[in-house]
Structure 1
Amino acid sequence: MGMQKFVIPKNLTKALHFIGGTRINLGSYNPTFDVFEPRNGQVLATVEEGKRSDIEEAAQAALGAQEKWALVSPAERGMILRRVSDIIRHNVDDISVWEVRDNGKPISEAKADILSCADTFDYFSGVDLNGEHIPLADVDERFAYTRREPLGVVGCIGAWNFPMQTASWKIAPAIACGNAVVYKPSPLAPVSAVILAHILHHVGVPDGLLNVVQGGAHTGAAICQSRAISKVSFTGSVVTGKIIAQNAASDFVKPVTLELGGKSSCIIFEDSNIELAVTGAMMANFFSQGQVCSNASKVLVHKSILEPFTKALVERTSEMIIGDPLNESTRIGATISAEHLEKVKGYIDGAVEEGAHLIHGGNRAVVNGLPNGYFLEPCILSNITPQMKVYKDEIFGSVLLIIPFDTDEEALRIANDTTFGLAAGIFTNNLSKAHGFARKIRAGNVYINTFNDVSPYVPFGGYNQSGYGRENGKAAVEHYTQYKSIFVNASNKLENPF
């Protein structure tokens, strides 16, 4: 008999905590926060903030589920993860609408994000958890072998810019490796993770394998400090990442994965295909209203092609449709919040005051029928100096900085002139130069003649202040398992060293 069809609950926003296999509201004494829908500025949900006691309840539910889940064979776990992937694909349209209402990005982007989540569950359904056999003598009487074992309960703290994708990048490898999860979404975009919890419940994982507890900084601190939680994975800002690392070591030491921000560069060399490079620069700045950690706001352009590149960039940017993110034709949706819109606008206005030249955009946009939505025109600035805040800070908005350069050495120096190290882009037809620069740039992800590509097969993470640890690929398995080394003497002899 086939499995019953999955349906997203109609009353989804009425209860956004998922503990022990059930969607619940927390106690009336918990403080609450409002979640706003970016496209119209209206309240989408009012949510109770999880307290330490709620985190402990979720962690205990996870411990019970993890004991059962660890006994499930990797092959059977893989089959279950593939079912999750199938449900995501079959419900991509409905899930994408919630992603748009939650986050504000265009629905065309949301659909691509949701399908990438299905790819992630597919990839980790076949993850290799095999250990090694290590001979210690010529005859097979002395040997060792290793086992990869789950950590137990993993605490994951997600970001608002890719709500479902952030959740999938953490939850899929964690449960594939035999762990259970306590997940805290960003309070700005809390819905997607709850849909994912419903999907996992639907495919029959043990109750409590994935728990979702909503909240802000206090809830996140409780996850880091819970003795029932053995590891923490966080995606977000450097400031919060430092606090996460400190909290995770404040009582019981536990490993932490930090996927933090960036201040990346995209280098456009003189031999670049200008049309290709313009597309790459837009991909490096305008996805998800510029709210992408790997974005390259510093677009370094060789002076010999500066004029045609800038002209083509402005033309292409001016053609992008700003509108209701639920419309398929929209390419620029809504910023995550009114506060964040003002922050990005503040960077633009501050740069102009410091002497930057506003080439295009940068104004608040009004969309028909959505007068209270958080819309901002994509912005292009030139005449940038290293002393400006926009040169140094992660803007996290659609603000593209055109910075001319003369020599390869100058381009490399500007690209590496940052405390971050998440990404970099290189546009050139000279593959020798491209690979040479890829080696010299201090960043965890380098894109050659493309930008902001991701794949579940490929590790993602940064250098320096952009964090440590990796998500996706075989590297992720290292962060959700622990090695056990077992030494064996099968000779029935043991020399007495005393």
Structure 2
Amino acid sequence: MANHALNLPNQHFIDGRWQAAVSGRMMASFDPGIAEPHAEFAAGDSDDIALAVAAAKRAGALWAKTSAAERGRVLMRVAEALRAHADRFARAEVLDSGKTLAEALGDVRGAARAFEYYAGAGDKLEGRSYPLGQDYVSYSVNEPVGVTAHIIPWNYPLSTAARSFAPALAAGCSVVAKPAEQTPMTALMLADLLHQAGLPAGVCNVVTGTGVAAGAALVAHPDVHHVTFTGSTTTGINVMQAAARNIASVTLELGGKSPNIVLADADLDLALDQVIGAIFENSGQICSAGSRLVIERSIHAEFIERLAKRAGGFTIGHGLRDGVNYGAINSAEHLAKVAGYVDQARARGVEVVTGGKITADPETGKGWFYPPTILDGLSWDDPVVQEEIFGPVLAVQVVDSADEAIAAANCTDFALVAGLFTRDISRAHRIARDVDAGQVFINEYFAGGIETPFGGNRRSGLGREKGMVAVASYCKLKTVTARI
């Protein structure tokens, strides 16, 4: 499990080269699978952010003038390079995040696909003409907004970086990114890979450090024109307020408490597989996890019995060990948060069907682990129904009809995604219409891909990532009208 062969970076990537923090300070990156440091990295602050934004501003002016076709060629080379170096990227992700190697390899494949998709986007950003009559010519053009800030979360560091870097670069923008201090490595590696693929120096920069010291300085910088943030709702509000002072636009992908509706007429074997994956993939540390099971009463008892049996069948351990299919919680702080929610629920008399206690890697006795956990028969106002736990904890809400399922699905302040399992396709589309969510998955949770827009409503966010709509976030529209 040693990282020496990976040659992990330990400095910022600014203006096409590695640079130490101006302060000279360093931070430790922890391997959640053993709860011990595995590497060091630069502890950046506002001085480092100033250097990165200045580099992005200089280089971005030239990148914006590069032909869209050439920008696309660079992004396609990045996709190819990610696939060629998938093992190194995945192993670094495991050491930083705690997820399993299989999950991390899937993330690398997804990141490569994002660059491949947006490689073909830049030269499709067409304007429009407006019919003002024969004495006028009026048309619009899409122009890059300029320097863009990217605040990357710790649960999917490479995936989230790729899905925002790629459309920004395709649109002709430059990038300054601040990855989560828990998981800095793959964002740094990606910036280096972009440079090796032909991206001009300064167009993509990564500054590591804490959110307080580096992230806040980045989103508040007056030369940043768009901020893409993925994280908690509370922090997202702060980001939006900081960006507003500079009239910078924002894309906010925030919290979720997403319902997974299973109706009595569903294919229960299919639903069982999908419910398991929706909440326990990446140990539940997914903003769009199916963290609430909304299930009809007539199938509730049998389904929960089968679900609990499956939940107890995971092999817990360090993500780089063969045979492990369930990884660690990312940090000691987050482990305590997850455990606190369950402990408090138990104290209120909530039934803990399975799991519910902090554990460790059975082979080493180390690491930050929390087993798959199911809390059954919850009232709709219970905190584990209403609040985002961001861990492997499934809250079960029992309903008596499809209409009640819709009401249960909509009973929180979040509206990121929703899942739905039924054989009645007409009813499925009616429920999809009436459930408030940015995405609705029918008979397959996490259905879709980089092509399908993603984002939330209400306290789950603002704007959309993925799909062609994401490129629009990095463009400003100019209209030209001439009398002839």
Task: Specify the TM-score bucket, using the shorter chain as the normaliser.
Answer: over 0.9
Distance in 1 between residues matched to 2:91 and 2:308, nearest whole Å: 30
Q: CA deviation at 1:29?
A: 5.5
Partner of 1:58: 52
Per mean C-alpha deviation after superposition, the further-off stretch among 90-99 and 39-48 is: 39-48
Distance in 2 between residues matched to 1:235 and 1:243, nearest whole Å: 12
Partner of 2:208: 214
- Matched residue SS, 1:36: strand
Distance in 1 between residues matched to 2:286 and 2:268, nearest whole Å: 23
- Matched residue SS, 1:47: strand
Distance in 2 between residues matched to 1:215 and 1:366, nearest whole Å: 28
Q: 16, 22, 36: which one pairs with 1:21?
A: 16
AA in 1 matched with 2:244: A
- Matched residue SS, 1:134: coil
Please state if 1:248 is matched with 2:216.
no
- Matched residue SS, 1:349: helix
AA in 1 matched with 2:138: A
Q: Is the 8 A contact 1:262 1:394 kept in 2?
A: yes
Distance in 2 between residues matched to 1:48 and 1:306, nearest whole Å: 51
- Matched residue SS, 2:89: helix
The one-character-per-residue Cα deviations of 1:261-296 (angstroms, maximum 9, x if unpaired) are 111111110001111111121122011100000112
Q: Is the 8 A contact 2:143 2:171 kept in 1?
A: yes
- 1:422-461 map, 5 Å: 422-461=416-455
Distance in 2 between residues matched to 1:237 and 1:28, nearest whole Å: 28
The structure with the larger Rg is 1
Distance in 1 between residues matched to 2:324 and 2:299, nearest whole Å: 30
Q: CA deviation at 1:369?
A: 4.2
Distance in 2 between residues matched to 1:202 and 1:47, nearest whole Å: 21
Partner of 1:103: 97
Please state if 1:12 is matched with 2:8.
yes
RMSD of aligned residue pairs (Cα, Å): 1.5
Q: Is the 8 A contact 2:8 2:92 kept in 1?
A: no
Partner of 2:32: 38
Partner of 1:495: none
Please state if 1:92 is matched with 2:92.
no
Please state if 1:373 is matched with 2:367.
yes
Partner of 2:234: 239
Partner of 1:3: none
Partner of 1:494: none
Partner of 2:264: 270
The one-character-per-residue Cα deviations of 1:348-382 (angstroms, maximum 9, x if unpaired) are 11111111111111222332443221111110111
Q: CA deviation at 1:383?
A: 2.6
- 1:168-183 map, 5 Å: 168-183=162-177
AA in 2 matched with 1:136: L
The one-character-per-residue Cα deviations of 1:17-36 (angstroms, maximum 9, x if unpaired) are 11011112113455x43221
AA in 2 matched with 1:78: G
Distance in 2 between residues matched to 1:47 and 1:205, nearest whole Å: 23
Partner of 1:403: 397
Q: 107, 125, 147: which one pairs with 1:153?
A: 147
Per mean C-alpha deviation after superposition, the further-off stretch among 203-212 and 308-317 is: 308-317
- Matched residue SS, 1:336: coil
Partner of 2:219: 224
Q: CA deviation at 1:328?
A: 4.5
Distance in 2 between residues matched to 1:451 and 1:104, nearest whole Å: 23
Distance in 2 between residues matched to 1:48 and 1:78, nearest whole Å: 31
Distance in 1 between residues matched to 2:80 and 2:166, nearest whole Å: 14
Q: 312, 318, 337: which one pairs with 2:306?
A: 312
AA in 2 matched with 1:280: Q
Partner of 1:259: 253
Distance in 1 between residues matched to 2:362 and 2:376, nearest whole Å: 30
Distance in 1 between residues matched to 2:344 and 2:140, nearest whole Å: 56
Please state if 1:362 is matched with 2:362.
no
Q: Is the 8 A contact 1:62 1:208 kept in 2?
A: yes
Give % identity. Answer: 38
Distance in 1 between residues matched to 2:303 and 2:483, nearest whole Å: 69
Partner of 1:493: none
Partner of 1:351: 345
User: Gaps spanning 5+ residues in structure 2: where?
Assistant: none
Distance in 2 between residues matched to 1:452 and 1:112, nearest whole Å: 13
Distance in 2 between residues matched to 1:178 and 1:28, nearest whole Å: 32
Distance in 2 between residues matched to 1:29 and 1:92, nearest whole Å: 31
Q: Is the 8 A contact 1:16 1:190 kept in 2?
A: no
The one-character-per-residue Cα deviations of 1:94-113 (angstroms, maximum 9, x if unpaired) are 11001111101111111111
Distance in 1 between residues matched to 2:342 and 2:229, nearest whole Å: 29
Change over 3 Å in CA distance of 1:136–1:290 after alignment to 2: same
Please state if 1:131 is matched with 2:127.
yes
Q: 469, 477, 481: which one pairs with 2:471?
A: 477
TM-score by length of 1: 0.93
Distance in 2 between residues matched to 1:278 and 1:239, nearest whole Å: 33
- Matched residue SS, 1:108: helix
AA in 1 matched with 2:408: I
Q: 382, 386, 390: which one pairs with 2:384?
A: 390
- Matched residue SS, 1:456: coil
- Matched residue SS, 2:33: coil
AA in 2 matched with 1:131: G
Equivalenced residue count is 478
Q: CA deviation at 1:408?
A: 1.8
Q: Is the 8 A contact 1:355 1:383 kept in 2?
A: no
Q: Is the 8 A contact 2:53 2:224 kept in 1?
A: yes
Q: Is the 8 A contact 1:16 1:191 kept in 2?
A: no
Q: CA deviation at 1:454?
A: 4.5
Q: Is the 8 A contact 1:283 1:452 kept in 2?
A: no
